[in-house]
Structure 1
Amino acid sequence: MNSLQSTKTWSPVQQRPAGHSVSLAQRVFRQGLYETVNMLRNGEQLLVSIIIPVMVLIGVHTAGLLDTEEHSTLQILTPGVLAIAVMSSAFTSQGIGTAFDRRYGVLRFLSTTPIGNTGLIFGKAIAVMLILLIQLVVLLTVAFVLGYRPELGGILPGLVFLLIGAVAFTSLGLLVAGTLRPEATLAITNLLWILLGAAGGSVFPLSQTGFLTPLLQWLPSAALGDGLRAALMDGQWALLPLLILSAWAAGATALTVKFFSWK
């Protein structure tokens, strides 16, 4: 509903006076800003994207639930919280927002403007990246205040995992939003976010899941969490999680392109 209301007052494809044409790149960027503002205005999405990850970071660190002889809870937990932040902005928030935009005809309207379908998709990608940047700044600031220090050699692989994870979960969110009713999308994305965050290997390492570990390691949440932990804790590239996450990104993107409905 917020998306529909916003299009009545401002649109990334507003008419400009003659002689002041706007390039496609500018339209796409403005669409990305439009999507970002809508996500930040939505209290529920803000809760899922920023407030809950911060609460998890502070709460689990305070309780010391993941302390080991080699690593503190904060070292183990922070990469996992970054993983769940990607899932919240790329999968849950983007899926829910797109589903209701689709119901109220916002997608159909924007796809007929000069920005087109491709520009709309790129705009959503920009929005996810901007929200993710905000999440990283907030979460890492809180973590640093609490005493967290990442392995500097793992920054590059960590960024690669964050980028591929954003692609994978954005595609999954759009796949759900573009094929199911908004109510179903709302339920599924929130439920999966909770399950994957709690038991899917993102926040908590799979070593705590016992006999289910060989199965759960193939989930995109586990691949993202394991990859970020290997990078930011040990400064290493985790090859198998990278391949698994890349396969999810490629597969989900292909399915979304094929089955996404704009109506």
Structure 2
Amino acid sequence: MTPVPGRSSADTTSTGTPSPGGAPAPLLRRILLQGRYETVTMLRNGEQLILAVVLPLLAMVGLTVTPLLDGLGASRINVAVPGILALCAMSTAFTGQGISTGFDRRYGVLRFLSTTPLGRTGLIAGKVLAVLAVLLLQVLVVTAVALPLGWQPDPLGWLPGLALLVLGAASFTALGLLVAGTVRPEATLAITNLLWILLGALGGIVIPSERLPALAQAAVHFLPSGALGQALRDAFLHGSINAGSVIVLLLWTALAGGAASRWFKWN
């Protein structure tokens, strides 16, 4: 049997049950085990794979064969890929984690795990590890498809770009946990999917603000979607760091994280 997350193999009998007097595994091991479990669960979910990989790839191909991104000072693929990477972060960290956490809460999984040696801190840390693991796979897949299509990122943009992806994932994870922990699971499903569509189309994440309606152009820079999309385009197109976008992402992470800590309901 698979060992219970949070306990080392030495603390279990041959049947997989805890041995008498067995001590919990170290916190780091508990978090790593939970992170592995969360990652495997996400990768086995066909709906989440479509949302996290298939749809972003289709959007990338669509943007390279249409003139929507023409006239922005770079080739279509070079403008499209940073936005697609940002969309991947939002898909996994916000929509994917929001939905899975919401239904875990509904079925009592969160309440159960929060009382085990894993604890609430370990549970959240495991979810963050899963988001980062899946995001790494998304970056590898998108890069493998984009390079043959002619993507030429600025070499100086890789380090800030990856750091911005992590920051963006933190911001969207905090937002996903806030939604999942405060509304019903059915509402979480509707809200996260609706926001994925709206932010993906009009939030400045895939399509630069210059191509959006006039009313949306000023507002998108203050959204986590617009901030992450613009920051990644600046990084991979010019090798630069957009300080304003970084501040916006930090503020969203702090505010959403604080609100989730304050109002998150475990049952």
TM-score (normalizing by structure 1): 0.93
Structure 2 match to 1:138? 141
Q: RMSD in angstroms over aligned alpha carbons?
A: 1.7
- 1:13-65 Cα deviation digits (max 9, x unpaired): 36624578622111100100111111111111111001101111112212243
Alignment partners' CA distance in 2, 1:10 and 1:87: 32
Match of 2:238 in 1: 234
Question: How big is the shift at 1:154?
Answer: 1.3
Give 1:1-263 correspondences, 5 Å limit.
11-13=4-6, 16-17=12-13, 18=19, 22-68=25-71, 70-209=73-212, 210-263=214-267
Match of 1:5 in 2: none
Q: Distance in 2 between matches of 1:96 and 1:211?
A: 30
Contact 2:94 2:192 in 1 (8 A): yes
CA distance in 2, matches of 1:148, 1:82: 13
Q: Secondary structure at the match of 2:133?
A: helix
SS of 1:217's equivalent in the other structure is helix
Aligned residues: 256
- Counterpart amino acid of 1:50? V
Q: Structure 1: where are the runs of 5+ without partners?
A: 1-7
Shift of 1:9: 6.9
Larger Rg over CA atoms: 2
Deviation at 1:208, TM superposition (A): 1.2
% identity of equivalent residues: 50
Q: TM-score, normalised by structure 2?
A: 0.92
Moved more, 55-64 or 95-104: 55-64
